[in-house]
Chains A and B, each alone.
Chain A
Amino acid sequence: MSFWKIAWRSIEQRALASSLTGLSMALGVALIILVLVIHNVFVAQLSNDAQGYELIVGGGQGSRFEVVLTSVFHIGKPLYPFPYSFYKKFVGDGEFAPYVEAAVPICLGDSYQTDDNHSFRVIGTRPEMFTAIPYGLDDDGHELNYQFSAGRNFKVENFYEAVLGSVAANRTGLKVGEHFQPTHGISAGDTKHDGFEVVGILAPTGTSTDRGIFVNMEGFYLGEGHAMPAKEGADDAAASPPPGEPSESEGNGPRPLPESQREVTSILVRCNPDLPTAAMFIEGRVNKGEDRVAQAVAPRNVVRQIQDSFLDPVRVVLLVLTVLIVVVAGISVLVSIYNSMSERSHDIAVMRALGASRAAVMGVILVESILLSLLGAAAGMLLGHAVLAVAAPIVENYTGITVRPWDFTWQELLLAPGLVAFASLVGLLPAMTAYRTDVAKTLGGAR
């Protein structure tokens, strides 16, 4: 009969106490799983959100973090914009155009409030946002392009068309063909703009795009408060689109805002892949000078900094807390086994009388401690992932963050040997008690 079976019989014998001890271990391990998975999801989310382009060109007055937070994650107050003419350096015959494969302008400052007072950012942009820039990479490193779960991309000539991210569509309830009015500013109560028609809803991407409402930049510019005052003597001609796009002034619709009155909050820049130093070149040129109007930021570096500065320390704190929980659970294993030692000393003495060495009875107790911890840990892993499985669709629906509940992290693999070592440690005290059992006294035959 193996030590495992002997230990298992002992666990069975004290089913209630063993179950409660195992449960405390399971809860501790489940918390560790949740911390690990949630942290990994956040890291992946951060990295995903900043994929598809090498640079963000944003207002020169803010910090690098603000540029990334407002442009990529749609968090915080948008930076002061820069003139449209600066954007034109990245397209057509502009100074940086040879180094650029795609440059997508972004205009921020509007929002849309749901009935339950949830606010979504309204982002003025161009259709290339969904055609020229991928939103991430698959497991094989291939680029993932935006797909529409309903409708189509907006057209540059239709000023009042909009595309919704999957979460924004779910939460606002807006459907293709419906209209909505953005609010000026990023809080409720401000002026309402002209209505936009939803023409497309994006398939989920697991990025911050899912939470965005994207409107045609031409319509955005025509909203109240979006135009810079016309300068005397400035060219008030309608803006001309980049080559390849039809002119929006051909029809009878509204005239586009003159370029001199336009501003851009930021530009997502996908560099020319044939020029490996393109990003460095653009970054160097844009950031040169003290009175710069804009700054170029490599989002991946900033994301890494955010991760190093904020997420990793938070994870360490959370992990320390959960490890403490596991330590408490381990102590409960110790207490449970140790308390049972007096009632089990008779069984141990019988085993010794049958020929079990001191080391053997010690081994049985250690195996019991390990078994109890491992069973608790296995239950904890199952519990942790089950909680994630239940929560994943809700989280995805509300935040657009994709959680893959049954993906196991490499850190989890360390749990098993770690717990065996830990269980051996906590089992040592009761095991020593077993080791020291006086057989003759315990079996009641002193004389």
Chain B
Amino acid sequence: MQPLTWVYDASFPPVTHAFRMLALSEVRKSYVEPDGTQLPILDVPQLSVAAGEQVVLRGRSGCGKTTLLNCIAGLTTVDAGKIEINGRDVVKLPEAVRDRFRARYIGFVFQTFNLLPAFSALENVLLGMTFTDQRADPQRAAELLKTVGLGHRLTHKPRALSVGEQQRVAVARALANKPVLLLADEPTANIDPAHQQQVIDLLRDACRQENVAMLLVTHADEVANQFDRIEYLEQVNRAAGVA
């Protein structure tokens, strides 16, 4: 893998002040059970991540970690509360605007990588650039892949890549639009221990160098212990014990 020499331009990031890049306030989310009763999933009075800060989010299965990430990313709507990213309350944004906002400012790394099988590694990264207002930049996509050590795998389809390589493509895709916030949902859960550290190093170095705030969900102690700040969802989520 090459040393991390990121290719962001000088104008990045559009941070207005050294502040909480992500700030949640009184966020509530519940699901409706088949019998019509409301099942509270999230009740988060306060949670914030500063610009460039790297935070691990932990919690037992089913306590709402993934739902929280989905709410932050705008993939799931909340019932109440405020989710500010880079100073904008994404809850109030109309859906189409929220989609563009997500494409432009939020990077997402999934547990199962979620690469599209029909597309090459390069095209998967380009796909991450497709839905912003900016023009997709193949040169930048190729450089990102070189940076994560896949310069020789640009045209390979996901099925031709190892699990570790697939996750590295996913990391490159998440960073393609120079996000201000990177959400990672158990990014090492499906990777063998030998490659887990590589992916974690990759994510941390990339975010550190570009001042990208990161909220990473993990069950792995060896991963969590590398971070200065660990939040336990059972503590920040008042609904964690209900579900």
A interface residues with partner B (beta carbon < 8 Å):
1, 5-6, 9-10, 12-13, 346-347, 350-360, 439-440, 443-447
User: Contact: B103 with A1, CB < 8 Å?
Assistant: no
Contact of B41 among A355, A357, A443, A447 (CB under 8 A): A447
- Minimum C-beta distance from A373 to chain B (A): 20
> Is the pair A1, B73 in contact by a Cβ cutoff of 8 Å?
no
A350, B129: Cα distance in complex, Å: 13
B185 part of interface (Cβ distance < 8 Å):
yes
A13 touches B41 (CB 8 A): no
- B185 near A351 with CB under 8 A, answer no
Assembled-state Cα–Cα distance A347/B123 (Å): 14
Tell me, in angstroms, the Cα distance from A352 to B103 when the chains sit together: 9
Partner of B123 from A9, A352, A439, A444 at Cβ < 8 Å: A9
Minimum C-beta distance from B30 to chain A (A): 11
Contact status A353-B73, CB under 8 Å? yes
- A1, B129: Cα distance in complex, Å: 8
Residues of A contacting B: mostly? helix
Nearest B residue (CB) for A14 = B118
Task: Kindly identify which residue among B70, B76, B103 contacts A355, using a CB–CB cutoff of 8 Å.
Answer: B103
Contact A440 B76 (CB under 8 A): yes
CB pair A347 B116 closer than 8 Å: yes
Q: Which B residues are CB-close (under 8 A) to A350?
A: 114-116
B127 surroundings in chain A (CB, below 8 A) = 1, 6, 351, 354
The total of chain B residues at the interface (CB under 8 A) is: 40
Contact A13–B117 (Cβ < 8 Å): yes
A187 to B66, CA, bound (A): 89
Partner of B108 from the list A10, A354, A357, A444 (CB cut-off 8 Å) is: A354
Interface bits B92-136 vs A (CB < 8 Å: 1, else 0): 000110011011100010101011111100010011111110001
Per the 8 Å Cβ criterion, residues 52-97 of B in contact with A are 62, 64, 66-67, 69-70, 73, 75-76, 95-96
Cross-chain contact A445 with B103 (CB below 8 angstroms):
no
Interface positions of B from 9 to 48, Cβ below 8 Å from A: 31, 41
Point out the residues of chain A lying under 8 angstroms from B75, CB to CB: 352-353, 439-440, 443
State in angstroms the CA–CA spacing of A185 and B95 once bound together.
Answer: 84
Contacting residues, chain A, for B73 (C-beta < 8 A): 353
Is B173 in the interface zone, CB < 8 Å from A? yes
Q: Do A446 and B130 touch across chains, with their CB atoms under 8 A apart?
A: no
A350–B170 alpha-carbon span in the complex (Å) = 11
Alpha-carbon separation in the docked complex, A13 to B157 (Å): 11
Are A10 and B118 in contact, CB atoms less than 8 angstroms apart? Answer: yes
A354 CA to B112 CA in the complex, in Å?
15
Listed in ascending order, the chain B residues whose CB lies under 8 Å from chain A are: 31, 41, 62, 64, 66-67, 69-70, 73, 75-76, 95-96, 99-100, 102-104, 108, 110, 112, 114-119, 123, 126-132, 136, 173, 177, 185, 243
A360 to B115, CA, bound (A): 18
A residues near B110, Cβ cutoff 8 Å: 353, 443
Say how far B72's CB is from chain A's closest CB, in angstroms: 12
Residues of chain A contacted by B118 (CB below 8 angstroms)? 9-10, 12-13, 347
B173 touches A1 (CB 8 A): no
Assess whether A354 is in contact with B41, with CB atoms less than 8 Å apart. Answer: no
Known: A1-B126, A9-B118, A347-B116. A354 touches B173 (CB 8 A): yes
Q: Kindly list chain A residues whose C-beta atoms are within 8 Å of the C-beta of B116.
A: 9, 347, 350-351
20 A–B contacts, CB within 8 A, in A order: A1-B130, A9-B123, A10-B118, A13-B117, A13-B118, A350-B115, A351-B116, A351-B127, A352-B99, A353-B73, A355-B100, A356-B99, A360-B131, A439-B70, A443-B75, A443-B110, A444-B112, A445-B67, A446-B31, A446-B67
Nearest Cβ in chain A — how far from B132, in angstroms?
6
Which of A1, A359, A443, A447 is B96 in contact with, Cβ under 8 Å? Answer: A359
Instruction: Give, as a whole number of angstroms, the nearest-CB distance from B208 to chain A.
Output: 23
Q: Which residues of B contact A6 (CB under 8 A)?
A: 127, 130
A residues less than 8 Å from B67 (CB atoms)? 440, 445-447
How far does the alpha carbon of A9 sit from the alpha carbon of B114 in the complex, in Å?
A: 16
The 7 A-B residue pairs whose C-beta atoms are closest, nearest first, are A355-B103, A445-B66, A355-B131, A13-B118, A9-B118, A357-B99, A356-B131
